[in-house]
A and B are shown apart, each in its own frame.
Chain A
Amino acid sequence: MARPLRIVVAKAGLDGHDRGAKVIARALRDAGMEVIYTGLFQTPEQIVQTAIQEDADGIGLSILSGAHMTLFPLVLEQLKAQGAEDVVFFGGGTIPPEDADELRKLGVKAVFTPGAPLQEIIDFVESECGKRRELVG
Chain B
Amino acid sequence: MIDRPETGAKASQAYLRTGPGSGAVDRTLSDVPLKTVYGPEDVTHLNPPPGEYPYTRGIHKNGYRDRLWTMRQFAGFGNAKQTNERYHFLLSQGQMGLSVAFDMPTLMGYDSDAPQARGEVGKCGVAIDSLLDMEQLFDGIDMGAITTSMTINGPAAIAVAQYVAAAEKKGISRKQLGGTIQADILKEYIAQKEWIFPPRPHMRVIVDMIEFCTTEMPKWNTISISGYHIREAGSTAAQELAFTLADGFAYVEAAMKRGLDVDSFAPRLSYFFNSHIDFFEEIAKFRAARRIYAKRMRERYGAKNPKSWQLRFHTQTAGCSATAQQPENNIVRVAFEAMAAVLGGTQSLHTNSMDEVLALPTEKSVEIALRTQQVLAYETNVTNVVDPLGGSYFVEALTDEMERQAEAYFEQIEEYGGCIEAIEAGFFQKEIAEASYRYQRSIESKDRIIVGVNYFQKEEPQLDIDLLRITEEVAREQSRSLAELRSRRDAARVQATLDRLERACRDEGDNVMPHLIDCVNAYCTEGEIVDAMVKVFGRYTERSAF
Contact = CB atoms under 8 A, between A and B. Distances in A.
Contacts of A118: 440-441, 444
Contact of A66 (B110, B123, B441): B123
A66 B369 CA distance: 22
Interface string B438-452: 001100100000100
A126 to B, nearest CB: 16
A67 B118 contact: yes
Interface string A1-40: 0000000010001111111011101110100000101111
B37 interface: no
Interface string B354-368: 000111100000000
A97 interface: yes
Given A114-B323, A117-B444, A22 B433 contact: yes
Interface residues of B, number: 45
Interface string A70-106: 1100100000000000000000001011100000000
B111 interface: no
Nearest to B105: A14
Contacts of B123: 65-67
B192 interface: yes
A70 B324 contact: no
A46 interface: no
A35 to B, nearest CB: 8
A114 to B, nearest CB: 4
A94 B357 contact: yes
Contacts of A22: 433, 436-437, 546
Contact of B124 (A27, A38, A66, A115): A66
A70 B104 CA distance: 14
A8 to B, nearest CB: 12
Interface stretch (B12-20, B462-470, B486-494): B462-470
B440 A13 contact: no
Contact of B193 (A38, A40, A68, A119): A40
A37 B104 contact: no
A65 B118 contact: no
Contacts of B441: 118
Interface string B506-546: 00000000000000000000000000000000000010111
Contacts of A49: none
A14 B463 contact: no
A58 B108 CA distance: 29
B389 interface: no
A16 B453 contact: no
B444 A26 contact: no
Interface residues of A, number: 39
Contact of B463 (A37, A41, A97, A114): A97
B358 A16 contact: no
B96 interface: no
Contacts of B105: 14
Interface of chain B, helix or strand or loop or mixed?
loop
B260 interface: no
Contacts of A15: 104, 120
Interface in B123-170: 123-124
B546 A13 contact: no
Nearest to B465: A96
Contact of A37 (B192, B234, B323, B544): B544
B117 interface: yes
Interface string A98-137: 1000000000000001110111000000000000000000
B323 A115 contact: yes
A25 B436 CA distance: 12
A130 B544 CA distance: 27
Contacts of B323: 114-115
B94 interface: no
A65 B440 contact: no
B119 A13 contact: yes
Contacts of B107: 14
A19 B463 contact: no
B348 interface: no
Contacts of B454: 117
B436 A14 contact: no
Contact of B120 (A13, A23, A35, A113): A13
Nearest to B467: A96
B232 interface: yes
B93 interface: no
A16 B119 contact: no
Contact of B436 (A16, A19, A39): A19
B422 interface: no
Nearest to B195: A16
B359 A94 contact: yes
Contacts of B462: 97-98
Interface of A: 9, 13-19, 21-23, 25-27, 29, 35, 37-41, 65-71, 74, 94, 96-98, 113-115, 117-119
15 contacts: A14-B107, A15-B120, A19-B320, A27-B440, A35-B546, A37-B546, A67-B118, A67-B119, A69-B119, A94-B357, A94-B359, A96-B358, A98-B462, A115-B324, A115-B325
